[in-house]
Structure 1
């Protein structure tokens, strides 16, 4: 009964009319000279009833009450036809189709039983029902028609219900699987975010710890040394010149150590990033580099600039500095392009020069640098430490392009 309008093939809508036409022709042939008006009128009435109540009203196929009226009226006409001419029992297959498709449960077995009873009456037309034997044969034929068809109706309904329950269960399983996949994906994303935040928090905490250690130990110790030496210098008025020279040297060394300790504390946050955004810091670094080497650097920032995690800014700044250092040492370039791109979920840094270029495969296979420099390996490690990726494109004689990309979720950006 689910949307019958889509379930009725054209052949089934034409079948009743074909059967009525054939049976009307059989009636005309069998009656000979007997009156045919009533039989043909009943055939025409049946065809008109099907046409008006069913064929021309597809919008009512889903409505039980109009279809019940149609079915009861059709069975009444067919029953009269079967009583007059038993060969109209061949019209019952069309009635079975209407019963199974139009009558809802639990009324379907009654409709099917009514059609089976009409078919049984047609099959027992020649029996003498006035005798006990004839009555018994009549009852047996009726039961032989009604019981199997009603049983088939019950079995079909059970199968339909089982199929519907199975489809609902499968739909629930598919929905649960989709929800599970979405939850797993969300959990994986949250896990990655937690790992990134934990890594960043650990780095920042380690930097703060180192700053505190330097401040509380080296800086304070050197300050005490300077104070003690100056006090000794003040109290020793007539000290030999050689001793004074050593005291002055010690004070100078202590002062130099203090300055170095302070510079180490400040170096935990690079000077360009303490007072400027990343784009401004890159522009300042490029300007200083151009002033030293004479090669112009075109700095471009695309997208909506926004604050980034400190570790990300530091990694990108150091990568740009090392890339420019490599250009100065090895490329012999005439110009350099540096592009900082703020994308939806990542930030990208591209440094491209038109210099001599090199073979990245050979460079990767070479032993690590031992001069303390950053190098290509160091650049890659620094970018990967913030969950980013570094790509190097170069060929001898065609220049070099270095692209660093670091994912930055909205929740990770500092306000």
Structure 2
């Protein structure tokens, strides 16, 4: 086995171990975090009856989790189904008492495919979507006003889209596993006829096939996770911000509230389109009708209107038609860099520059915000958030690099540099 193959095996094993640890210990951490946050906010959100209810149900949820740890039955078993249903019911009541318990309820998105039969998986995810939408709509369930109903329905649509994406991921992984198993079975039958002469070679061949299948599944999971983060998660963040503005302005300025509601609806439609394209591995919506400079200009303008931060976009050099993967990578990096600036930088100005430089193309995203200490960031592990580590991973897939210049109080500059791979002339024509 070569060094590269050994590294691939180690990466796949590490990813699988990480997911196993998450499904084993993640519920305890999320339940504990939700309980702490709810305790801090109890005087603002919860009634006395809610506090008593939470005090009873949190230990019940903990006991349920301990029972599950002692009885790890396989997917679709009676014990696994009972655990999922019981945990979902507990999470819904806890979320009703305090919306911050949605941090515990979100587990339904991740393990419905591991615990429920395939025919019941979508129903389990839909139940989770209803809980999440109710917790984020501002009034819990049921909604108490027309504006809350509108907010709830928009969020439910977005979470329903998220359900569709997760179900598609699970179905695709299951189909891929079945296909690979059939292939392995056929190859094992063929190798059996040569067993006397090629015993060692056949064993190695089977092992490499299993590793390739697992690596393919892990790569597909990472790709879809990155797409969800870059499209649906950021879309949800923008929608929530717009809907919060609607709630704030509804009583004093109905016209302004209407404008925010229109923006939230537009973001919802855009996120739905991105979700469908992520499932089918298509180009970002912005690149379907525009070249990269046009798509980046619209992205910067939209981000500036949504965040209120003054932003400028500049192109240097002679623009050329780029390969789809290059354009999509740079657009996603720009979206992530701007999203980070909007969430963390507290900037007053930002700038995006796209430079065509012969055989390479660079993208610079800078802001005058608070900056940060790069050494204080945790290492990127290919899961969870998709910040600087995710941008570097995207660039490295097309032989590029991402560099960051920043410091506390010095603003931030993100520079992505990738090879300029031109679009095939026949494809352009």
Q: TM-score range by the shorter chain?
A: 0.3 to 0.5
- Mark the structure with the bigger radius of gyration: 1
Q: TM-score, normalised by structure 2?
A: 0.37
| TM-score, normalised via structure 1 length | 0.38
